[in-house]
Amino acid sequence: MGMNTVSRQRVGEKIWTIVVAAGSGSRFGSPKQFSLINERRVVDWAVETARLASDGVVVVLPADQATREGGVVGGATRSASVRSGLAAVPNDATIICVHDAARPFASEFLFDEVIDAVCAGADGAVPGLPVVDTIKFVGENNVVVSTPNRRDLVAVQTPQAFRAKTLRQAHAHNPEGTDDSTLVENNGFRVVVVNGDPLNRKITTPEDLNWARTISRGEV
Ligand code: CTP
Ligand code: MG
């Protein structure tokens, strides 16, 4: 009887998610987050799950769409867009997740995993997948500098969850990074990795969208 571990841990937590959807999609060729998968836009898939998993959601959008859709206006970089979102997250939020609109198939379970890791004491939590390729650091003139051990590497996804004050502090001096964990790590905080999900692929190229449309038709 009684509450499960998750709900007991979460007593007193207020969980908000920022969905960043203000990018230009330069590799895709257009703002991919507004392409359709099964009649719904990529961003709508992401926002729907974020709403199920959180107490509140802030959607960060390009200027021409923000007012019409009830979102906030993004910035020139992903990090700047996250900061626009942060400014709209209420001060009583205790945990803040950041999620890419370009990942339509993140599950509610995955949100719960990163949120639970923060409830359990981490400053931040990110989903990670094993890396299949050998990765190299490359220096000037395409010369290989070194090769990290593949067993020590993961490819990280969103949603990424953080203690609210930690994320706000990490963004305080307007740093830039390709994800939020980088900024939090660089401030000396402890970020843990939970199991990522191969289905939670980011739409980066038209090929990724074709894959997502096929998945949503149940053909894979
Ligand atoms: N994003 C954003 N604001 C920016 C840049 C990116 O909100 N100034 C969002 C994108 O909309 C996307 C997520 O951050 O949901 C991840 O970024 P990415 O996949 O790199 O998307 P884009 O930056 O739009 O694509 P590209 O890098 O190919 O231009
Ligand atoms: Mg980008």
Reported as a single tens digit per residue, the pLDDT across 29-44 is: 999 999 999 999 999 9
Q: What is the pLDDT of residue 218?
A: 81
Alpha helices in the chain (DSSP H): 5-9, 42-53, 63-69, 78-88, 108-119, 164-170, 180-186, 206-216
**Cα–Cα distance for residue pair 97/193, rounded to 1 Å:** 14
In whole numbers, what is the pLDDT of the chain averaged over residues?
A: 95
Residue 194 parent element (H or E): strand 191-195
User: Is the C-alpha dihedral spanning 187, 188, 190, 192 positive or negative?
Assistant: positive
Residue recorded with tokens 């094993």:
130
Mean local confidence (pLDDT), 39-59: 98
| Binding site membership of 205 for ligand 1 (Cβ less than 6 Å) | no
pLDDT of residue 9: 76
Model pLDDT, residue 217: 86
Structure token digits, residue 77: 């970089």
Least confident residue range of 9-13, 34-38, 121-125, 146-150:
9-13
Mean pLDDT of 45-53: 98
Which of the listed residues 28, 35, 60, 100 should we mutate to test ligand 1's pocket, taking the one with most ligand atoms within 8 A of CB? 100
Closest listed residue to residue 200, CA positions, set 108, 105, 101:
105
- Any ligand 1 atom below 6 A from CB of 74: yes
* pLDDT value of position 6: 56
pLDDT digits (tens, 9 = 90+) for 137-194: 999 999 999 999 999 999 999 999 999 999 999 999 999 999 999 999 999 999 999 9
Our answer on whether the CB atom of 202 is closer than 6 Å to any ligand 1 atom is yes
Confidence of residue 51 (pLDDT cuts 50, 70, 90): very high
Residue 125: phi and psi, rounded to 5, are -145, 140
43 CB less than 6 Å from ligand 1?
Answer: no
Domain 3-125+156-216 indexed as CATH 3.40.50.2300: no
Give the mean pLDDT of 126-146. Answer: 98
Mean pLDDT for 51-65 is 97
Judged by DSSP in three states, 174 sits in: coil
Regarding the beta carbon of 122 and ligand 1, being less than 6 Å apart is answered no
Ligand nearest to the CA of residue 58, numbered in listed order: 1
Nearest alpha carbon to residue 162 among 201, 190, 128: 190
Q: Are 96 and 167 in contact (CB under 8 A)?
A: yes
Confidence at residue 8, expressed as pLDDT on a 0 to 100 scale: 62
**Calpha distance 117→120 (Å, rounded):** 5
Q: What is the band of 1 on the pLDDT scale with cuts at 50, 70, 90?
A: very low
* Alpha carbon of 81 to ligand 2 centroid (Å): 11
